[in-house]
Structure 1
Amino acid sequence: MKKVIIVILVAFIMIQFFPIDTTNPPPTPGMDFLKIKNAPEKIARTLRTSCYDCHSNETKYPWYSKISPVSWWVKNHINEGRKHLNFSTFAVYEPKRQLHKLEECIEMVEKKEMPLESYYLGHQSAKLSDEQRTDLIQYFKKVKEDTERGIMFNK
């Protein structure tokens, strides 16, 4: 039993030599959702607190993201989040794709699927109140309508 514990401890120490990359891509203010959609401060604050760590290039890595293997799990969540929706590069999406992303945002917030429950473990401030959910949903719907009008106007 003692040998097993030693092997596990040595393995744990060894994996610490393989840290995740915690650098963020450079900011692109002209492509960021909050800027191009002129988000009100209240909405911007909510999105930055509850969404931007996983869905932007502005991730703030918590202390536990420096400890393997937890760091690998955190980095995977961030990579997946950015792959599905990256607010930092929202302007590069074609208008129809923006509409689809906005529909997904509405759906995920309505169904309380975002933010993930696991995210709350280290980020209690990210938990959305009913009022914040309502505000986000209404805002996303307004942006979606504006985007639809823009698509129709440009036809």
Structure 2
Amino acid sequence: MNRLSKSVVVIGVCVLLAVVIIQFIPKKERNNGAAGTNAITFIYNVPQRVDAVLKKACFDCHSNRTEYPWYSNVQPFAKFMESHVIQGKEELNFDEFGSYPLKKQYNKLRSVESQLKDGAMPLKSYTLIHRDARLTKEEVDLLINWSRGTRNKINAKL
């Protein structure tokens, strides 16, 4: 075995060991599986079609009902997914929506509309793997119209 071949083998073994070792990094699932009384569906009218679109394209990162796929148990994917879910829930959690002040609720829905119009949500990295989360133009319009109507109801309370 020449020097280059030995180096390749050593590097391969080191990479394999690193992959095995990082599997021991603990994974934290941020999920309690319940909507509760602060859920947007509990305080505002969310038609069935809107709810279905929210569930398929938004709730994994923006609710307490994240459905973790098999690869979320494998590092480094678990860490990547964990950070996205944490950021998503910090930005907007539909299951905690009722705990937000009315002004914040209004602004969050306005932000949802803006991001839907711009195609910023759902994230491309998410829809790359979760193809069913890709939104049609009709679904985007449905969410935007529902959000506007809900914002109007919020605005009436302000």
- Counterparts of 1:53 and 1:113 in 2: how far apart (Å)? 16
Residue aligned with 2:59, SS: coil
One of 64, 77, 83 as aligned partner of 1:57: 64
- Counterparts of 2:88 and 2:115 in 1: how far apart (Å)? 13
The match for 2:11 is 4
Is structure 2 residue 114 aligned with structure 1 residue 107? yes
Q: Give the C-alpha shift of residue 19 in structure 1.
A: 3.2
Q: Confirm or deny: 8 A CA contact 1:19 1:71 kept in the other structure.
A: no
The match for 2:104 is 97
Q: Confirm or deny: 8 A CA contact 1:55 1:81 kept in the other structure.
A: yes
1:33-81 residue CA offsets vs partner (Å, 9 max, x unmatched): 1221120000000001000000011000011111100110001000000
- Corresponding pairs, count: 151
Residue aligned with 1:29, SS: coil
Residue aligned with 1:68, SS: coil
Please say which structure displays the higher CA radius of gyration: 2
1:79-120 residue CA offsets vs partner (Å, 9 max, x unmatched): 000010000100000000101101100101111100000001
Q: Confirm or deny: 8 A CA contact 2:30 2:64 kept in the other structure.
A: no
- Counterparts of 1:137 and 1:57 in 2: how far apart (Å)? 22
AA aligned opposite 1:113: A
Could you say what the CA RMSD is over the residues aligned between the two structures, in angstroms? Answer: 1.1
Q: Confirm or deny: 8 A CA contact 1:19 1:68 kept in the other structure.
A: no
Q: How does 1:14-29 map to 2 (within 5 A)?
A: 14-25=21-32, 27-29=34-36
Q: Confirm or deny: 8 A CA contact 2:30 2:86 kept in the other structure.
A: no
Q: Which runs of 5+ in 2 are unaligned?
A: 1-7
Instruction: Assess, with a 3 A threshold, how the Cα gap between structure 1 residues 123 and 26 changes in structure 2: closer, same or farther.
Output: closer
Instruction: Assess, with a 3 A threshold, how the Cα gap between structure 1 residues 141 and 115 changes in structure 2: closer, same or farther.
Output: same
AA aligned opposite 1:54: C
- Counterparts of 2:23 and 2:34 in 1: how far apart (Å)? 29
Q: Which runs of 5+ in 1 are unaligned?
A: none
Decide which moves more: 16-25 or 54-63: 16-25
- Counterparts of 1:28 and 1:81 in 2: how far apart (Å)? 16
Structure 1 stretches of at least 4 aligned residues deviating more than 3 Å after TM superposition? none
The match for 1:39 is 46
Please report the TM-score for the alignment, with normalisation by the length of structure 2. 0.92
AA aligned opposite 2:120: E
1:124-151 residue CA offsets vs partner (Å, 9 max, x unmatched): 1100000000000000000001100011
One of 89, 92, 95 as aligned partner of 1:85: 92
- Counterparts of 1:61 and 1:27 in 2: how far apart (Å)? 15
